[in-house]
Chain A
């Protein structure tokens, strides 16, 4: 089973460039999440989608947009990248809030 698949694994952007991080899960999960992880900060929720057709802001949504394309796919877009968005990004999914979440392998993003 592939589980949660994120692309790309690594990316370097120049300030002001845009990009979309892709995430897909094959576990028929309802909820999907985007986190960023910075040293000493733990996992911080950017956006989440509790079910297909819904998206909600997390703790650190500024500078990001998301699209829940269908039940499987949840993308994260940086419209105008800034150095402060240098981070490791993780996508995760779970069936519902009572069940365990599974993570993708992460995207290491550097904005120069």
Chain B
């Protein structure tokens, strides 16, 4: 069974700080990686996708990928209380009972004013 691992948290950071969310995956051949944000009672929404080693920036969000270490991270700069949510890491998979996309269980982030 392939795995996507995340710390469940909660991760608590003060407003304005950098929040760092981490994810490791077990399948070396995975090529596509995604970060989702899920507010309580809502559906997951896509924040970032990353396909190549290195950093990808989008506004206050930076995704980092290291395929050699099988590690994906999400940095949130200037964290705001509105960033408080659960963040899900997802990794592409080659079918089977886990489907085409494997999700981690998520890290709950709390940004305190």
Contact = CB atoms under 8 A, between A and B. Distances in A.
Interface in B25-50: 31-32, 34, 42-46, 49
Q: How large is the interface on B (under 10, 10 to 19, 20 to 34, 35 or more residues)?
A: 20 to 34
A107 to B, nearest CB: 10
Contact of B46 (A96, A102, A104): A102
Contact of B44 (A40, A56, A90): A90
Interface residues of A, number: 27
Interface stretch (A42-50, A70-78, A79-87): A42-50
B37 to A, nearest CB: 11
15 contacts: A40-B105, A43-B103, A45-B99, A56-B95, A58-B99, A59-B97, A97-B32, A97-B95, A97-B100, A98-B51, A99-B32, A99-B49, A103-B43, A103-B45, A105-B42
B105 A104 contact: no
